[in-house]
Amino acid sequence: MKTAVISGGAGFLGSHLSDRLIATHKILCIDNFFTGKRENIAHLVSHPNYTLIEHDIINPIHFSDQKIDLIFNLACPASPIHYQHNAIRTIKTNVLGTINLLGMAKRHGARILQASTSEVYGDPLEHPQTESYRGNVNPIGIRSCYDEGKRCAETLMFDYHRQHNVAVRVMRIFNTYGPRMSEEDGRVVSNFVIQALRGNDITIYGSGEQTRSFCYVTDLLDGMIKLMETDGFTGPVNIGNPNEFTIRELADAVIEQTGSSSRLIFKDLPKDDPQRRKPDISLASEKLDWQPKIELRAGLAETISFFEQQISS
């Protein structure tokens, strides 16, 4: 049985990934619980294949008594409010944390996957975004700790690959949503669903004409696992759903599907908020035979029913 390290394993994506792998892999979850939740992994901690290690990846960690085969580097706050909360820590997580895990990959001869992001394209001038587009990122703005941190993590992945022959996989994740997003996460899907279910105002930042393309969590994980398992392909590769919606359209869909009487209110657009985002997924389709299957309506229905349970419990 292979041993997989999942950094950020108690978070939204990390806990779902653990569910996928637990029957066939030994899992070492590394998490500092900055945004992760114990309830996400409560059903896993007593599983014989599962070990929880409370640790911050900014600090080195060694597993000298067991062989590591796979490393999924998911540790990093993903929501703008959380990654901006302590910007220097976010950069350290992306740079020092990634170096620590790449060192582990090198020592163990492990394959390592980096959860990169569509944010490497910044506020894109090319639409849709292909992997060859080099982006339009503000290096000194409020999102830079995340955007530039993730860009540097990609650089590190490829430098370790060239210099030390580490087997790397780089996945550029586009906005992903689903059950187990945190109520306090602050990202748009969870915010709108919770606001609608509570009958609170739905907060649209800016005009709501900016776009995002929303991928349901199960589709995203299919892509992540395929990328990790595919030989001879490092990426970077976009994984996301190319169906593009304005934020206003998302709000309307959430109101309709929840049957809410919430009204829309408009707030200031945060600085450097990208205007448009949509992945070109031709490369994922060609190299991984991957495309998303779950449309927004179906994914929202699952997400709404998750938050209904959270709110009523």
Binding site for ligand NAD (CB under 6 A): 7-8, 10-14, 30-36, 56-58, 74-78, 93, 97, 115, 117, 173, 175-176
Spatial separation of the C-alpha atoms in residues 8 and 43, rounded to whole Å: 16
* Residue among 155 and 165 whose Cβ is closer to ligand NAD: 155
- Which partner, ligand NAD, ligand UDP, none, binds residue 204 by CB below 5 to 8 Å per kind? ligand UDP
3-state helix, strand and coil shares in percent for the chain, rounded to the nearest 5: 40, 20, 40
- Which partner, ligand UDP, ligand NAD, none, binds residue 166 by CB below 5 to 8 Å per kind? none
The size of the interface with ligand UDP (CB under 6 A), counted in residues, is 15
Task: Determine contact, residues 239/215, Cβ cutoff 8 Å.
Answer: yes
Spatial separation of the C-alpha atoms in residues 262 and 273, rounded to whole Å: 24
Least distance (Å) between residue 72 CB and ligand NAD = 9
Spatial separation of the C-alpha atoms in residues 210 and 187, rounded to whole Å: 14
* Residue among 14 and 226 whose Cβ is closer to ligand UDP: 14
Question: Which run of H or E residues covers position 251?
Answer: helix 247-258
* Residue among 12 and 192 whose Cβ is closer to ligand NAD: 12
Q: How many helices (H) and strands (E) does the chain have?
A: 11, 13
Tell me the two tokens of residue 258.
């929840």
Residues in 1-20 that interact with ligand UDP by CB under 6 A? none
**Mapping DSSP to helix (H, G, I), strand (E, B) and coil, where does residue 113 land?**
strand
Q: Which of these ranges, 8-16, 50-58, 266-274, 291-299, lies near ligand UDP under the rule CB under 6 A?
A: 266-274
Residues in 204-233 that interact with ligand UDP by CB under 6 A? 204-205, 210, 212
Residues in 236-265 that interact with ligand UDP by CB under 6 A? 247
* Main-chain dihedrals φ then ψ at residue 231, nearest 5 degrees: -80, 150
Which residues have a catalytic role annotated? 146
Q: Which of these ranges, 7-15, 35-43, 51-59, 203-211, lies near ligand UDP under the rule CB under 6 A?
A: 203-211
Q: Which of these ranges, 46-54, 65-73, 87-95, 201-209, lies near ligand UDP under the rule CB under 6 A?
A: 201-209
Question: Which run of H or E residues covers position 50?
Answer: strand 50-54
Cis peptide before 236 (omega within 30 of 0): yes
Task: Determine contact, residues 79/12, Cβ cutoff 8 Å.
Answer: no
Binding site for ligand UDP (CB under 6 A): 79-80, 175, 187-188, 191, 203-205, 210, 212, 247, 269-270, 273
